[in-house]
Structure 1
């Protein structure tokens, strides 16, 4: 398994565009790809034609310890060989990560 992360703290630099293009290209080459959209504006999801009305469970639901959610309930198949894990509540996700013990 290979992992590719696209990260930059500044907005508007093309992170989502690059992420979608790499993911789609790898999927077209026959690789099984999951794109985890952690952008606050859900741009990767939108670029793939997925609006928030099309999913109920997201990355946030996975890390919310109050609910037991199966990963497969959150993943959407958006193209051949390309799955998407959308997000919601990015502020709460960031807060949850800051609360977690690093030990």
Structure 2
């Protein structure tokens, strides 16, 4: 069985009394593609911010190549090859098509 390149095990995130992520587990193998879909407010951005070191999980484990890691800052995440590319609406605002 191949080792996961990225895994989340029972990740939770709360902001004060508000629980925004509950028991998230993901297991991604090399070569797999993941699409993260959900309604507004479902926690997609919070999960991405945890993976990119902006937020820390309240509990749970992040594993890279099977080893537990702490992504305490965006720099720490980038040093491990994780970064966020933000969506920009109107990439070519002067083009008509």
TM-score (normalised: structure 1): 0.30
More helix by share: 1
